[in-house]
């Protein structure tokens, strides 16, 4: 089943979905494994697993540090593939890879797609690869049936959103505000108008991320978006209270 179909099937039972973000290898793959277990058991619908990169340009200080620490711990792309294969085999929810294009380029585009398809990865989020520069990437995404997740931003024009939507599959990732991940977002009139523009530009489900931190944030998105993305908040929670705190936090978001 393709990613969009999986998400729409879940939306038949829920008014909004939850997607979470982890950095593979931070603080360790063993902790990643426990965090994912708690996330899935408490109702997360989709998980993006970030393959760590030395210069994660879209990420704020929390995720930047997690990337750097994961690399310092010796996390390799091969470790990430092996771990992802284990997770996709164990759990029924869709798993995505999020990373930066240099990782894929160095590995080899087709080899990367082939390996990801073999282990059941459903989509890729690559923030630094505009579709105009990724023709071969998009062709391989179609060939291997892995959804290329495109990104809308508040600075995107209506015309640009429509262009991006034409290339995207699975869902559209709507960045809640300017800047990088981590800082809390505000959901005022400008934000609501922005989501209306996003909805008008595509028929794909809309996920909203960057600064989503609480049940109140998710409530504010209901009826406006299809999926809320939690990233930096769970990383900080694991740092402060350990992996066992993730389950109750996720459960409390509904």
pLDDT of the residue at 186: 57
How far is the C-alpha of 5 from the C-alpha of 11, rounded, in Å?
10
Polymer length of the chain: 254
Give 181's pLDDT tier (boundaries 50, 70, 90): very low
pTM above 0.75, yes or no: yes
Are the CB atoms for 56 and 64 separated by under 8 Å?
A: yes
How far is the C-alpha of 113 from the C-alpha of 105, rounded, in Å?
11
How many Cα atoms occupy the beta-carbon half-sphere of 9 within 13 Å?
A: 11
Sign of CA dihedral 211, 212, 216, 221: positive
Which pair of structure tokens corresponds to residue 202? 């595509």
Dihedral pair phi/psi, residue 157, rounded to 5°? -75, 165
Which of helix, strand or coil describes residue 48?
strand
Q: Please confirm, yes or no, whether 48 is among the known catalytic residues.
A: yes
Is the predicted pLDDT of residue 211 greater than 90, yes or no? Answer: no
Sign of CA dihedral 171, 136, 64, 31: positive
Question: Annotated catalytic residue: which of 4, 45, 48, 226?
Answer: 48
Tell me the pLDDT tens digit for each residue of 99-143: 999 999 999 999 999 999 999 999 999 999 999 999 999 999 999
Tell me the pLDDT tens digit for each residue of 1-23: 599 999 999 999 999 999 999 99
Are the CB atoms for 67 and 23 separated by under 8 Å?
A: yes
Are the CB atoms for 85 and 55 separated by under 8 Å?
A: no
Domains of the chain: 3-251 (3.20.20.70)
Which pair of structure tokens corresponds to residue 200? 């008008």
pLDDT of the residue at 177: 59
Question: Annotated catalytic residue: which of 59, 90, 163, 219?
Answer: 59
Dihedral pair phi/psi, residue 31, rounded to 5°? -70, -40
pLDDT of the residue at 188: 76
């Amino acid at each position: 089943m393709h990613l969009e179909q999986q998400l729409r099937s879940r939306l038949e039972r829920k008014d909004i979905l939850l997607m979470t973000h982890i950095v593979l290898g931070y603080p360790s793959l063993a902790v990643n494994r426990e965090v994912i277990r708690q996330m899935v058991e408490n109702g997360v619908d989709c998980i993006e697993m970030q393959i760590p990169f030395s210069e994660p340009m879209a990420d704020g200080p929390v995720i930047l540090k997690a990337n750097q620490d994961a690399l310092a711990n010796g996390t390799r792309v091969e470790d990430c593939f092996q771990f992802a294969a284990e997770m996709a085999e164990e759990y029924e929810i869709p798993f995505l890879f999020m990373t930066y294009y240099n990782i894929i380029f160095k590995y080899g585009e087709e080899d990367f797609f082939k390996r990801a398809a073999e282990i059941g990865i459903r989509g890729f989020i690559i923030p630094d690869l505009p579709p105009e520069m990724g023709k071969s990437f998009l062709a391989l995404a179609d060939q291997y049936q892995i959804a290329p997740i495109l990104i809308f931003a508040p600075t995107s024009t209506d015309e640009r959103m429509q262009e991006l939507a034409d290339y995207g599959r699975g869902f559209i990732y709507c960045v809640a505000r300017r800047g990088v991940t981590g800082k809390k977002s505000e959901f005022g009139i400008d934000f609501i108008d922005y989501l209306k523009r996003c909805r008008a530009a595509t028929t794909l489900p809309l996920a909203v991320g960057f600064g989503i931190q609480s049940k109140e944030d998710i409530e504010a998105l209901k009826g406006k978006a299809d999926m809320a993305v939690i990233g930096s908040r769970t990383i900080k929670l694991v740092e402060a209270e350990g992996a066992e705190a993730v389950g109750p936090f996720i459960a409390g978001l509904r």
